[in-house]
Amino acid sequence: MYIVIAGGGKIGYYLVKTLLPYKHKIAIIEPQEDVCVKIANELHIPVINGDGTDLDILSEVELEKADVFIAVTGKDEDNLISCQLAKKNFGVKRTISRVNNPKNIEIFQKLGVDLAVSSTSIIAELIEQEVDFTGIKTLMRLSSGRLVISEVTITGDSPVCNKCLKDINIPKDCVLVSVIRGEEVIIPNGFTELKENDSIIAVSSKEDQEELKEYFVGKGKR
């Protein structure tokens, strides 16, 4: 796979070091000449001294042959422009951009960037997944965050403890995937009775997650 990266700072540098063992062909575009020399000497890959928003520079790196274009400079505007040029002028099928301001993620996606990545958002999401203040833990987000896979642990004072699923009016857009009881994984049906310490794995919309918590944990529980 041929990968072109705009930005030879720390993120670009370590991205190359991570990708090289997978035998990808990689080239970097970097405006600072001293950084170009350092990368070329240390990583032994083609490094073009120039601006990733310059069509001549993008042509010089033969961007039309690239499978993936990745923009990781410190300027959101430059990352967006270079990704758009890669798509529209050189036909690159997949573009990935670093987003320094998390508020720009949606804008980047609407303007054609295939994947916009914000380290701030990633860290915040990891914290949200790991810290369980509400009795319900987010395991994974799907479809750009619109769907969530949640884990709920049933306690002795849960409103659903010792009840069958057919007697529980869970939100209509929620799907219970499994009930984990000790080492046993149960595929639930209407007659499955929920016990204390059961872990429920459910898929719901992000909006229904709070309602799901109310059914299984209790309203207002923290």
CA–CA dist 10, 35 (Å, integer) = 10
Over residues 141-148, mean pLDDT:
71
CA angle 183, 187, 192 (to 5 degrees): 95
Beta strands in the chain (DSSP E): 2-6, 25-30, 47-49, 68-71, 94-98, 115-117, 136-142, 147-153, 175-181, 184-186, 199-205
Domains detected in the chain: 2-122 (3.40.50.720), 132-217 (3.30.70.1450)
**How large is the average pLDDT for residues 31-44?**
95
Query: What's the rounded Cα separation, in Å, for the pair 105 and 101?
Result: 8
135 phi-psi bin (left φ>0, alpha ψ -120 to 50, beta other): left
β-bridge mates for residue 155, sequence order:
none
Mean pLDDT of the chain: 86
| pLDDT tens-digit series, residues 59-78 | 999 999 999 999 999 999 99
Distances (CA, A) of 47 to 8, 21, 28, 34, 182: 9, 18, 5, 11, 54
Q: What is residue 194's predicted lDDT score, i.e. its pLDDT?
A: 92
CB 218 within 8 A of CB 157: yes
**Which structure tokens are listed for 196?**
């204390």
Model pTM greater than 0.75? no
What would the mean pLDDT of 128-140 be, rounded to a whole number? Answer: 62
